[in-house]
């Protein structure tokens, strides 16, 4: 957990800045958008000129528009002129998308807040806690150090990240329940929040899920068995990204599989690969393949044909072998 000196250093950066951009990761989830919107609202209390941005042109997933302030988050390739850039929930600098070049060349203006185990710390100040259940968990502590008044809208954003990144509180430390309780005291309708972020679907969405799930395969990868889903470009082009991104939770714990992988071909020949496991360090796999993430949940980008992308993952799994299992005991 970041200590008081790190929180003080982060607060000093904010104090010295007026124009601030808050950057979330590509293909944002609820922790990314909840972190962006909560930070924007919190720093506006301090009289700062703050804007939330995502470095892609693809629009916001519809289910995330229920998070207060999300409709004001800008999606695009232009970073507003800023005295300070706060990067939230980005496990690597590549996850900032179109803003990567600016961040690389202006590290002295960058504050990183994140909980991914593979984050190297690419800011001048880094509030990184790999034990935190969500990035919003770290923000909650930092806001307390900043003397921010938590409002229902800020609480909603913080709760959204905590809810989704713990799989509805299925994993995490006991403190996550304390945080949820405190946030609920701001009058949150947790039933509607959960429904909007996790439950709402349509007949077309269910048909899409069924079409992709019907192709599930079990593949051998050295000492492990891999459950694989492939969402090819022809199938998912123009369809709900929120639905496609949710597929990974369906293969996390397939009977007989050591880990699950979903290959999502959002553009021809380019696969966004999500990995999940309950007993292996898929973060090690992701890093080996140029990505990153948490020990049980990680991802990377693959290029080529469907077969080439899958073969690359299998080869990497064979190469890393038993270290994937031992890494869990060391780092978890």
Quick one: pLDDT at residue 246? 86
The whole-number mean pLDDT for each consecutive block of 10 residues of the chain, a chain of 332 residues, reads: 90 98 95 98 98 95 94 97 97 94 97 93 97 97 97 98 92 94 97 90 90 96 96 92 86 91 95 93 94 90 96 97 75 36
Quick one: pLDDT at residue 332? 36
Bridge-based pairing of strands 259-267 and 292-293 is unpaired
What is the rounded distance in angstroms from the CA atom of residue 326 to the CA atom of residue 294? 15
Q: Which residues contact 20 (CB under 8 A, 6 or more apart)?
A: 14, 43, 48, 49, 50, 51, 82, 83, 84, 85, 86
CA distance between the termini of the chain: 15
Quick one: pLDDT at residue 316? 97
Bridge-based pairing of strands 84-88 and 217-221 is unpaired
Q: Which CATH number fits domain 203-331: 3.30.1340.10, 3.40.1380.10, 3.10.310.30, 3.20.20.70?
A: 3.10.310.30
What is the rounded distance in angstroms from the CA atom of residue 100 to the CA atom of residue 106? 10
Q: Which residues contact 25 (CB under 8 A, 6 or more apart)?
A: 32, 54, 89, 90, 91, 95, 96, 97
Quick one: pLDDT at residue 328? 63
Domain ranges of the chain: 4-198, 203-331
Strand partners for 89: none
Check if CATH label 3.90.1640.10 holds for domain 4-198: yes
């Amino acid at each position: 957990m970041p200590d008081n000196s790190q929180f003080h250093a982060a607060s000093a950066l904010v104090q010295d800045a007026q124009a601030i951009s808050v950057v979330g990761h590509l293909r944002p989830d609820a922790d990314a958008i909840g972190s962006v919107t909560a930070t924007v609202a919190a720093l506006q209390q301090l009289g700062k000129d703050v804007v939330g941005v995502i470095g892609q042109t693809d629009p916001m997933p519809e289910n995330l528009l229920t998070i207060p302030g999300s409709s004001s988050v800008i999606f695009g390739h232009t970073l507003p002129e800023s005295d300070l850039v706060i990067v939230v929930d980005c496990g690597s600098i590549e996850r900032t998308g179109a803003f990567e070049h600016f961040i690389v060349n202006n590290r002295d203006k960058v504050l990183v807040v994140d909980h991914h185990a593979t984050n190297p710390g690419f800011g001048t100040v880094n509030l990184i806690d790999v034990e935190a259940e969500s990035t919003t968990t770290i923000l909650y502590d930092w806001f307390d150090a900043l003397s921010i008044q938590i409002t229902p809208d800020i609480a909603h954003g913080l709760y959204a990240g905590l809810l989704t990144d713990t799989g509805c509180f299925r994993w995490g430390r006991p403190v996550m329940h304390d945080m949820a309780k405190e946030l609920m005291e701001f009058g949150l309708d947790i039933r509607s929040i959960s429904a909007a972020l996790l439950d709402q679907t349509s007949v077309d969405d269910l048909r899409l899920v069924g079409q992709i799930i019907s192709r599930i395969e079990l593949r051998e990868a050295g000492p492990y068995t891999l459950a694989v889903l492939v969402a090819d470009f022809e199938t998912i082009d123009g369809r709900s990204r929120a639905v496609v991104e949710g597929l990974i939770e369906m293969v996390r714990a397939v009977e007989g599989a050591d880990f699950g992988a979903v290959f999502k071909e959002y553009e021809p020949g380019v696969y966004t690969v999500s990995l999940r496991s309950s007993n292996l360090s898929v973060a090690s796999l992701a890093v080996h393949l140029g990505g990153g993430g948490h020990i049980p949940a990680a991802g990377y980008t693959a290029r080529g044909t469907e077969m080439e992308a899958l073969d690359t993952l299998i080869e990497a799994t064979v190469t890393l072998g038993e270290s994937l299992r031992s890494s869990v005991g060391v780092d978890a």
